[in-house]
Every structure is written in C-alpha cells, then in structure tokens.
Amino acid sequence: MKKALVLGGGGFLGSHLADALLLEGQSVRIFERPGIPRYRNFTESEKIEWQEGDFNSQADIEAAVQGCSVVYHLISTTLPKSSNDNPIYDIESNVIGTVRLLEAARRAEVKKIVFISSGGTVYGIPKSVPITEEHSTDPTSSYGITKLAIEKYMSLYHELYGLDYSIIRLANPYGERQKSNAAQGVVAIFLHKAMTEQSIDIWGDGSVVRDYIYISDVIRVISKVTNYSGDVRIFNVGSGTGRSLNTILDTIENILKKPVKRTYKVGRLFDVPENVLDIQLAMKVLDWKPEVSFEEGVKKLYGSLQEL
C-alpha cells in the first residue's frame, strides 16, 4: 500500500490532515524538521512514519517521497510580514526547495501533489471583493511571489512530465492546535490573550477585513481535491465571508462574557485593507462548502485552550 506524504505534518494544518488520513486507514509519512515533537501519541494500529529532515536537502526529500503516491506540500519557511526582509532566503528555501521536491516526485513516480498556496497574499491589493481565481496576481510580499512561483513550477512539471497536481489558495485557517504564541494565527493569538487578560495589539483601527475558515472545513476540501481528477487546478478555499479584527474581538468578548483589552497601533504597509475569497468554484466543482460558523469554530478553539 502506497503512502501519503505530509510535508510539515507536525504543524497545525498538517497534524489535522495526518489524523484525517489515518482515520481513513491510510498509511502516512510525516516529514518534519528535526526536534519538532510529535503532536500526540499514535496507536500501534495507526500506519504512521515520522521522518525528520531538511526540506532543502535533496537526499532528505528523495528519501521522503519514496513509496508515496500523494504528497501534501504544506511547508513554508517564511511569513508574509517578514519575507520582504530577506527575499533571497525566501526564494532559496521555498522555491528552489520545491523544485527539488518536484524533481524527486517525478523520479519516484508520485501520482499527485497537493500544494497549499496563499489566498491572502497572491492577489495583492484586491480590485474587487470577493476575489475570484481569475483575479490578477500582484503580491505585495516576497511570500506571495514565491507561492505564485511554486504554482507555476507545478504547472510546468505537469506539462513536461504529466505530474498531477492541485493548488489550494487558502484563507486564514484556525482551530485546535493552532499556536497561541506564534507570529501568525490571529484567532488563536487573540483568544489566548483575552483568556489571560493580556492587551491585544491591533495594527491600524481594526477595520482590516480577512477571511477565516475552521480547520475541519479545510481538511474536508483537501480530501475532496485529492480525489478530484478534472481540469481545474486552482481553488480558493475560505469561508466566503469577511470579518474585521474588531468583529473578531467582539465575538471573543461575547464568548468569554467579558471585555477584551485592546491597544491600537499605527497600521502596517503590507496589510491590504480587505481580502475575502470567492469560493464558488470549489463549491461547484468539488461539491464542498464550509459547515462550521465562525462563532462555533471560536467556541471549539476556546474549549481546547481551556483544557491546556
């Protein structure tokens, strides 16, 4: 039985995906950086391998893809807000690393690669909202440019070698296991700070609007796209609804039943005013739709943080 390889399978999104694959009875290989702890204890009946390595090591990636039929590429070595500080590193570690992966996948006869791209950065400043897949792509960060470059290389390897692929331009996922002390992941960060009565820093006046989608809805669409064999390659995936930072805080206040401390700071240049994805294509082609409301998702996350 061939394996599913989850690159970055020890992280927030990857761990939920790995669990879903294991629940289906699939054989899963998780590839992670050295020193990343296992996110849970696996049972003896679960068909799981945990492989440590360097994404930018040709030998490590070649070993990772051996015997795998599907590869889920969730790795990114940079963040949108810091990628412009060192675009050379961004290119070397993400674009070149992915081309090495594509070469290894081609030689190992991998059947399909699913790449998680960025619906929040590849389009740049929206000319219209909600943003369709046909919207122009004018990123304002190196992060977004490298995501687009990876998308193009995946298309090239399909044309040259027949390597099947799907791209998910993902909005902002949130849910259990999302780190509350990380540099990104607004919902978890805000909720944790509100629970511990810390002041929450807001860049700008809090009117910046983004699209937030609960993790289980993301995993369902990844499953759908894995089994999809049609001609559409790129899908926007989000909730289809925009929420401002202030609205998120209002929701948290309603759940916690107490006010949240807010500190408003000068806005950041790379923050586009509004980013909401049009998800009609995924809904139509993949027969998928988001099922968990924002309020319900935040309550679930709140419950998990209470247990820590």
Q: How far is it, in rounded angstroms, from Cα 307 to Cα 217?
A: 23
pLDDT for position 307: 81
Q: How far is it, in rounded angstroms, from Cα 206 to Cα 51?
A: 41
1 confidence band (pLDDT: 50, 70, 90): low
Which of these ranges, 15-24, 253-262, 266-275, has the smallest mean pLDDT?
266-275
In the numeric block, the tokens 């000068």 are attached to 266
State which residues form the domain around 68.
3-173+214-237
CA angle 7, 13, 16 (to 5 degrees): 100
pLDDT for position 81: 84
Q: How far is it, in rounded angstroms, from Cα 200 to Cα 189?
A: 9
306 confidence band (pLDDT: 50, 70, 90): confident
Give, in order, the Cα–Cα distances in Å from 189 to each of 112, 166, 265. Answer: 34, 30, 17
Q: What is the pTM of this model?
A: 0.96
In a domain, 72, yes or no: yes
| pLDDT tens, residue by residue, 142-185 | 999 999 999 999 999 999 999 999 999 999 999 999 988 877 89
Same domain flag for 139 and 61: yes
284 confidence band (pLDDT: 50, 70, 90): very high
> Per-residue pLDDT for 119 more than 80?
yes
Catalytic residue flag (residue 143):
yes
Mean pLDDT value across residues 117-126:
95
- Compute the Cα dihedral for 241, 185, 206, 137 and give only its sign: negative
Which of these ranges, 58-62, 70-74, 78-82, 295-299, has the smallest mean pLDDT?
78-82
pLDDT for position 195: 95
CA angle 144, 150, 151 (to 5 degrees): 90
> Per-residue pLDDT for 272 more than 90?
no
> Per-residue pLDDT for 273 more than 80?
yes
Same domain flag for 142 and 42: yes
Same domain flag for 164 and 266: no
Helix ranges (H only) for 91-237 are 97-107, 142-161, 186-195, 215-226
- Residue of 211, 205, 124 lying closest to 174 (CA atoms): 211
For the purposes of burial, counting CB atoms within 10 Å of the CB of 45, is it exposed (0-12), middle (13-18) or buried (19 or more)? Answer: exposed
Q: How far is it, in rounded angstroms, from Cα 84 to Cα 145?
A: 10
Most distant CA pair in the chain, distance: 58
Same domain flag for 250 and 132: no
In a domain, 285, yes or no: no
Mean pLDDT value across residues 122-129:
94
Cβ neighbours of 51 (radius 10 Å): 13
Same domain flag for 166 and 188: no
pLDDT for position 242: 97
In the chain, % of residues over pLDDT 90: 93
Mean pLDDT value across residues 189-213:
95
pLDDT for position 258: 95
pLDDT for position 68: 98
Same domain flag for 104 and 231: yes
Of 206 and 269, the one with more pLDDT: 206
Q: How many CA atoms within 13 Å lie on the side-chain side of 229?
A: 2
CATH code: domain of residue 98: 3.40.50.720
Mean pLDDT value across residues 54-79:
97
Same domain flag for 108 and 207: no
- Residue of 238, 215, 268 lying closest to 123 (CA atoms): 238
Give the pair of three-digit tokens for residue 91: 């290119």
Same domain flag for 38 and 145: yes
> Per-residue pLDDT for 99 more than 90?
yes
pLDDT for position 267: 86
Mean pLDDT value across residues 127-146:
96
Mean pLDDT value across residues 60-77:
97
Identify the active-site residue in 39, 72, 123, 143.
Answer: 143
Number of folded domains that form the chain:
2
Same domain flag for 144 and 91: yes
> Per-residue pLDDT for 290 more than 90?
yes
